[in-house]
């Protein structure tokens, strides 16, 4: 049969089924699915699940920050960490700095990624400066070149767009059939709360959680939905943290609006109390991300949304800063929570957390797990069926998973460039044991291996535009 490799004796899991089969690989693609296959090479997958490789549709790698702090992962360390955590594709952001041409920005990120990626990658664009040139020429040309998604921000001084600008970007997205991701938090509400907290001397990292109130997220979520309805364009509300913004998404869906949604590991495992640190001290900065983790009621709502389809995708929002002077712990950050770099690491722990807390604990099915972490991200971002499926002709991107392996998450075992994990000590049942990208092993037993073989993927139109 001329197969290069057979994954033998495993249990194949897709978003639709679970079944016993061998998988035959030729030239980096799945060539056969059947029984008693043989090839030049063989991997025994007895007792293991065979999943489509994880697709993390929301990661930040090697982004510059305006305050000179450094992100803890570049494309090499970030994609090594991703591979060890069972991922074969990640979607990082190419962030436009105001005044910068979007095309120059994308070329800059290609230079950073080139030759360094252990997984496949494909850039989302971040539009921070929607000039006539960007809206009229650069964005349409970039969408045609396969950058078919872009993110807009409703907060952060350096990135925030006003409503008129958001509507302009939505208009281009509708015309070019690109998918807009929205960071939905209300900037003015956050600034108001921040000023009040600072005036009261409440400057510890804990108060980041109060300044980024869920009400401000709910309001911005509704505003984004409302603008998308006005333009008649699909959107994704990213990193949804709790019950209140979820209700806005459900409100929109009930009216037939094309609103998709993403949530992340921090919103099922952490709460606002984690930001207290040891005793309202700076240790809480380890958990500072936006939107911040909420409470037990919101965690329960998120689980319900993961089950019932309110959420399409589960991404890490990996955005790593070390808990030292290069990252979170600066004199300015000690003076006020508003200067603590926002973001936490998680590309390596996303799949184990959802598997263990979700599948192993009986909260979601295996099919839902695969849909949320691989198949739906591929569909939503124009990579399906080359990615996100186990089918003849698809890339042989596979994760072999031991559903019984039990150990705690430990910083010492992780491969990211960060110096801590917010999930230290979390007990996990179910770990990836081998990751294959186009048939090549890129990680085994929690360690990346081999040279960087990852490619940049041009993407097609999102299935969000399907009738
Ligand atoms: O705190 C976070 N999530 N930082 C990353 C940037 C973003 O908004 O996704
Ligand atoms: Zn965001
Ligand atoms: Zn959807
Ligand atoms: Zn993010």
209 CA distance to ligand 2 centroid (A)? Answer: 15
The Cα–Cα gap between 411 and 130 comes to 40
Nearest-ligand number for the alpha carbon of 340:
1
CA angle in degrees (0–180, nearest 5) for 271-75-102: 95
The protein residue with its alpha carbon nearest to ligand 1, atom 5, reads 343
Quote the CA–CA distance of 233 and 37 in Å, as a whole number.
46
Cα–Cα distance between 461 and 384 in angstroms, integer?
A: 10
Residue closest via CA to ligand 1's atom 2 equals: 343
- The burial of 453, by beta-carbon neighbours within 10 Å (0-12 exposed, 13-18 middle, 19 or more buried), is given as middle
Q: What is the DSSP letter of 49?
A: E
Residue 339 · residue 331 · CB < 8 Å: no
Task: Indicate which atom in ligand 1 lies nearest the CA of residue 58.
Answer: 9
**Residues paired with 149 in a beta bridge:** 179
- Ligand 4 center–CA 319 separation, angstroms: 6
Q: What backbone phi and psi angles, to 5 degrees, belong to 361?
A: -90, 5
The closest residue, in CA terms, to atom 4 on ligand 1 is 343
CA of 152 to the centre of ligand 2 (A): 8
Report the pocket of ligand 1 as residue ranges, CB < 6 Å. Answer: 60, 183, 239, 289-290, 317, 319, 342-343
Question: What does the pLDDT read at residue 153?
Answer: 98
User: Are 339 and 333 contacting, i.e. CB atoms less than 8 angstroms apart?
Assistant: yes
The residues, any chain, with a CB within 8 Å of residue 446's CB and separated by 6 or more, are 84, 413, 415, 431, 432
Ligand 1 atom 9: residue of nearest CA: 317
Model confidence pLDDT, tens digit, residues 356-386:
999 999 999 999 999 999 999 999 999 999 9
450 Cα to the center of ligand 4, angstroms: 28
Closest by CA position to 150, among listed 116, 173, 120: 173
Residue 1: the pLDDT is: 59
pLDDT at 68: 87
pLDDT in the model for residue 141: 98
CA 459 to chain centre: 17
Ligand 4 centroid to Cα of residue 3, in Å, is 40
To test the pocket of ligand 1, the residue of 63, 293, 343 to mutate (highest count of ligand atoms within 8 Å of its CB) is 343
pLDDT the model gives residue 467: 83
CA–CA gap between residue 265 and residue 299 (Å, rounded): 10
If you measure from the C-alpha of residue 444 to the centroid of ligand 3, how many angstroms do you get, rounded to a whole number?
A: 33
Cis bond before residue 385 (omega within 30° of 0): yes
Ion ligand 2 neighbours, Cβ < 5 Å:
183
β-pairing verdict for 54-59 and 87-95: parallel
Which DSSP category does 360 fall into? Answer: I
Q: Considering every ligand atom, which ligand is closest to the CA of 257? A: 3
Q: What is the pLDDT of residues 152-170, one digit of tens each?
A: 999 999 999 999 999 999 9
Closest CA to 268 of 346, 354, 205: 354
If phi > 0 it is left, if psi is from -120 to 50 it is alpha, else beta; for residue 393 that is left
Distance 319 CA to ligand 1 centre (A): 6
Closest CA to 62 of 83, 76, 51: 76
For atom 7 of ligand 1, the residue with the nearest CA is: 290
**Number of the ligand 1 atom closest to the C-alpha atom of 156:** 8
Question: Counting atoms of ligand 1 from 1, which one is nearest the CA of 238?
Answer: 9
Below-50 pLDDT ranges, the chain: none
Cα 16 from chain centre? 22
Note the ipTM here: 0.93
**Helix (H/G/I), strand (E/B), else coil: 126:** strand
Centroid of ligand 4 to alpha carbon of 180 (angstroms):
14
């Amino acid at each position: 049969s001329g197969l290069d490799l057979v994954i033998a004796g495993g249990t194949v899991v897709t978003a639709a089924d679970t079944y016993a089969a061998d998988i035959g690989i030729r030239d980096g693609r799945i060539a056969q699915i059947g029984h008693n296959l043989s090839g030049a090479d063989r991997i025994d997958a007895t007792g293991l699940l065979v999943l489509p490789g994880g697709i993390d549709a929301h990661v930040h790698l090697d982004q510059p920050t305006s305050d000179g702090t450094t992100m803890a992962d570049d494309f090499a360390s970030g994609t090594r960490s991703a591979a060890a955590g069972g991922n074969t594709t990640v979607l990082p952001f190419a962030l436009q700095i105001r005044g910068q041409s979007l095309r120059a920005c994308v070329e800059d990120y290609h230079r950073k990624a080139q030759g360094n990626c252990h997984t496949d990658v494909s850039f989302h664009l971040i539009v921070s400066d929607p000039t006539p040139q960007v809206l009229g020429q650069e964005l349409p040309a970039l969408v045609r070149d396969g950058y078919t998604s872009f993110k807009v921000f409703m907060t952060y001084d350096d990135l925030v767009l006003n409503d008129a600008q958001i509507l302009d970007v939505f208009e281009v997205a509708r015309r070019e059939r690109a998918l807009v991701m929205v960071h939905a938090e209300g900037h003015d509400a956050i600034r108001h709360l921040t000023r009040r907290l600072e005036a009261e001397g409440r400057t510890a990292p804990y108060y980041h959680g109060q300044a980024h109130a869920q009400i401000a997220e709910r309001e911005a979520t509704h505003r984004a939905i409302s603008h998308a309805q006005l333009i008649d364009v699909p959107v994704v509300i990213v990193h949804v943290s709790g019950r209140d913004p979820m209700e806005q998404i459900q409100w929109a869906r009930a009216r037939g609006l094309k609103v998709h949604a993403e949530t992340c590991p921090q919103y099922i495992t952490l709460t606002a109390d984690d930001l207290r640190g040891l005793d309202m001290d700076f240790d809480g900065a380890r958990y500072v991300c936006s939107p911040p983790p909420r409470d037990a009621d919101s965690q329960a709502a998120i689980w319900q949304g993961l089950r019932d389809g309110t959420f399409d995708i589960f991404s890490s929002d990996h955005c790593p800063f070390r808990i030292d002077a290069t990252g979170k712990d600066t004199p300015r950050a000690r003076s006020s929570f508003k200067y603590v770099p926002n973001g936490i690491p998680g590309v390596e722990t996303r799949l184990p957390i959802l598997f263990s807390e979700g599948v192993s604990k009986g909260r979601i099915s295996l099919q839902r797990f695969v849909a949320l972490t691989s198949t739906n991200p591929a569909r939503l971002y124009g990579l399906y069926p080359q990615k996100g499926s186990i089918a003849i002709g698809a890339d042989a991107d596979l994760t072999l998973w031991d559903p019984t392996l039990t150990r705690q998450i430990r910083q010492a075992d992780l491969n990211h460039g960060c110096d801590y994990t917010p999930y230290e000590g979390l007990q996990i049942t179910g770990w990836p044991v081998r990751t294959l990208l186009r048939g090549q092993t890129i990680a085994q037993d929690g360690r990346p291996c081999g040279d960087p073989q990852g490619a940049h993927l041009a993407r097609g139109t999102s299935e969000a535009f399907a009738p």
